[in-house]
Structure 1
């Protein structure tokens, strides 16, 4: 009798990380080509990626339940999977915020935030790709450090743009809108840093 092929948890988490990268690229396209009349259709791509990510998470959790042996501790797989899912959820949440906050145009420097998000998500994706052979990887630590550095750049950009918002914006509704959005941009970057920090801890634990 043929044995069932062993589930590859590392590959599954790689796929989830790639979902996050795809979602960040879709968000970048929405912001770069922002059109208040038609951008909601473009958001559907992000929503679909988020749904696919949820399916990935469910598959990983199911396999954890039925698998006898896992490559690293089950709780570690759950933790890393959850952190990867948070990145996708954060990006997807931004598209909904654009809608309910009734954003009609992007403020200056918004693209800088999105570029940082794309870079941070890519650093996470590359880290997850290397994670399965962390003992011999020559690039894992650098990718993790990149994610942390990008989050620091995001903190600086957040502080700068919040100062500009409160000093120059005269419409109090716009202040509320963009205060919320800036916080959500930073939340995605924080999610990337959280994921990178988890990988650092798991490398130390399993070395």
Structure 2
């Protein structure tokens, strides 16, 4: 009788982190070459990644139900998987906001939000890669701290652009409403990265 291969929970989490970075890269391409009449194909790519992530989450939860032994506590796996999934959901959500808010062009420095998001997700991805051997990792804590640092930079950028939005340089209330939501979407993704990093930091302490 062939024994079923043991499910690799760390590998499943790594796949989610990889998907988050893939989605972030596609969103960067959308923003750098923004065309409201042409971006549906790229948006579908992100939606496909998000759907793939949902399948990974479902499979991981099903494996948790039947696993006799897990590498860390079950509730901790659930929490970390959920935080990783939130990052992908946030990126996917931004594409819907571009659509239903009828965004016709990017505002100046929008790409700076994506620079920070890409950096934060890359730091999360590296943290997840190191998490399975956290006791011997020399870079895990550094990557967690780096994610928090990037999120703080995102807070500053968010505040700066909200101030510009509500200053006298912008007089159209519809534009203000639209971009307040868009900036909030960028901030939400960065917050999700920080949440994920904080969970890993807490689990390192718990399991040390």
Deviation of 1:5 (Å): 1.0
Determine the C-alpha separation between the residues in 2 that align with 1:48 and 1:115: 22
Structure 1 residue matching 2:7: 3-state secondary structure: coil
Partner of 1:158: 158
Partner of 1:185: 186
Is the CA contact 1:19–1:49 (under 8 Å) kept in the aligned structure 2? yes
Partner of 1:2: 2
Deviation of 1:46 (Å): 0.3
Determine the C-alpha separation between the residues in 1 that align with 2:82 and 2:112: 27
Deviation of 1:40 (Å): 1.8
Deviation of 1:39 (Å): 1.0
| TM-score (norm. length: structure 2) | 0.98
Partner of 1:125: 125
Deviation of 1:2 (Å): 2.4
Question: After superposition, what is the alpha-carbon deviation per residue over 1:97-124, rounded to whole angstroms, capped at 9, x for unaligned?
Answer: 0000000000011000011111111110
- Give the 5 Å matches for 1:52-201: 52-167=52-167, 168-201=169-202
Runs of 4+ in 1 over 2 A off after TM superposition: none
Deviation of 1:198 (Å): 0.1
| TM-score (norm. length: structure 1) | 0.99
Question: After superposition, what is the alpha-carbon deviation per residue over 1:12-56, rounded to whole angstroms, capped at 9, x for unaligned?
Answer: 100011010100001000001111210122110000000000000
Question: After superposition, what is the alpha-carbon deviation per residue over 1:124-163, rounded to whole angstroms, capped at 9, x for unaligned?
Answer: 0110010000000011011111110000000000010011
Partner of 1:205: 206
Determine the C-alpha separation between the residues in 1 that align with 2:4 and 2:38: 47
